Amino acid sequence: MLTTGRYFFQAYPFPPESLVLPSILIFISGYLILKHVTKNTSLILVVSALKSLFFFIYFAFVFNGQFTSGFDDYYYLQSGQNILKAFQDLSLFSTSFFDVVGGFHFSYPLLSSISQAVLGEYYYSLCATNVILTFFCGLLASRIIIIVSNSRQYASSIGFSLVLYPDLFLNSSIFAGKDTLVLLLHLSLLLIIANYFKTDRFSFISAIFILLVLFVTRFYVCLIFILFLLVIQKRYLYILFSSFLLYFVFFSLGVASNVQVLTLQGLSYVSPDSYNPVNIILNTFKFILTPRPFFEDTIHKFLLPANIFNWIASPLLLLGFIKCLFSSNAFYRFLSYYFSAFCLVYSFIDFLNGPRHRIQLSFALVIFIYQGFKSLLHISNRLGYQQQELS
């Protein structure tokens, strides 16, 4: 058995019968959510079945506790159990999530408690929830593309590509981390930004709510997005709302000291060498392509198929990034700036420069690869046409 504190985690495959409920839940959720992405019922059934079957096979026949961090995922499961126990001993309104969770990042532990209440106190419970969240990610991605391009076919292609994107597919199905939730929050804000570029109307209340949730999920990502929004949304009203948001979170919730500690901890990992322009470029590429195929450490060996795909697709990614950077579409240009900013931030802190934190950028990666592939086809067709003219 694997253990952390008072919580025990099974380190061998689970009985197949215990996985029937979460597998069915994944399949039904996939069908109900993805039918809003496309009308192609066959495709919906195949993708939903693939995701649920992979989950079932892994936890019924493969799982042995190897592909776990031994820290973050155990903390989320432990915190979820602590919340469940607190609800049993105390009323909802007398429960302090900060005290129970041991910090202000309580959103994912709360989701963990719900997952364990429904599916049982097992490692797979939170993974099943993550798989379901990927369907919502695909739905939001398709909604963004409909706003940006007004093409339902293109939107459904991006939506399903994100759901099946190897990094996201494997991480959500195998590792009980919060990165899929962070991606969902990214997409929620990107949807608001895409709508702003399209209509010049900004959803202040929705943005503030999502930023609050993001703050209690991964606080520095919230701060980065606030900077983005202040740059693109040049209105004093938004600055006022953002200032209120920061005041409310930092002081009313009493987490200013925790933010300060986490910030100082993060800055302590920034070495002087990180400011070297050459190292910044190298660390950025490391963030995008780490780990190298066949050089994964023990807990990341399950990412081998995804790593092979990432390295093969890297030329398309670069081509698509350049295309979006110089696009006439304001949202695509913003997406390239957004992607660059996050890569730059993670290039400075080595222990965050890895595949887990790259998950939150999966939407941008899918867009760049897709656009790069389209550009490659266009170049190939033009070269073929020129050759025909010469002949």
Task: Tell me how far apart the 2 most distant CA atoms of the chain are, in Å.
Answer: 83
pLDDT given at position 118? 95
Q: Is the pTM of this model over 0.85?
A: yes
Contact 335, 390 (CB under 8 A): no
- Nearest one of 121, 180, 132 to 363, comparing CA atoms: 180
The β-bridge relationship of strands 2-4 and 7-9 is: antiparallel
Cα gap 22→34, rounded to integer Å: 18
Sign, Cα dihedral of 23, 27, 32, 33: positive
Q: Whole-angstrom Cα distance, residue 281 to residue 286?
A: 9
Q: Along the 391 residues of the chain, how does pLDDT read in single tens digits?
A: 444 444 456 678 999 999 999 999 999 999 999 999 999 999 999 999 999 999 999 999 999 988 988 788 988 998 898 888 887 766 655 566 667 776 778 899 999 999 999 999 999 999 999 999 999 999 999 999 999 998 999 999 999 999 999 999 999 999 999 999 999 999 999 999 999 999 988 888 898 889 989 988 998 898 889 888 877 876 655 656 666 666 666 555 556 556 655 566 665 566 666 667 777 888 899 999 999 999 999 899 999 999 999 999 999 999 999 999 999 999 999 999 999 999 998 988 877 788 999 999 999 999 999 999 999 988 878 776 666 655 5
Contact 137, 183 (CB under 8 A): yes
List of E strands, the chain: 2-4, 7-9
Determine the 3-state secondary structure of 132 from DSSP. Answer: helix
What is residue 69's DSSP assignment?
A: -
User: Residue 97: exposed, middle, or buried by beta-carbon count in 10 A (0-12, 13-18, 19+)?
Assistant: buried
CA–CA distance from 115 to each of 7, 93, 130, 192 (Å)?
A: 16, 20, 10, 28
Q: What are phi and psi of 44, to 5 degrees?
A: -60, -45
* Distance separating alpha carbons of residues 73 and 65, to the nearest angstrom: 11
pLDDT computed for residue 3 by the predictor? 44
Distance from C-alpha of 153 to C-alpha of 145, rounded to nearest angstrom: 10
d(CA 350, CA 82): 31
Tokens of 141: 């991605």
Q: How far is CA 168 from CA 121, 264, 337, in A?
A: 23, 30, 22
Contacts 24+ apart (CB under 8 A), 188-191: 188/140, 189/214, 189/225, 189/229, 190/140, 190/144, 190/335, 190/338, 190/363, 191/140, 191/143, 191/144, 191/147
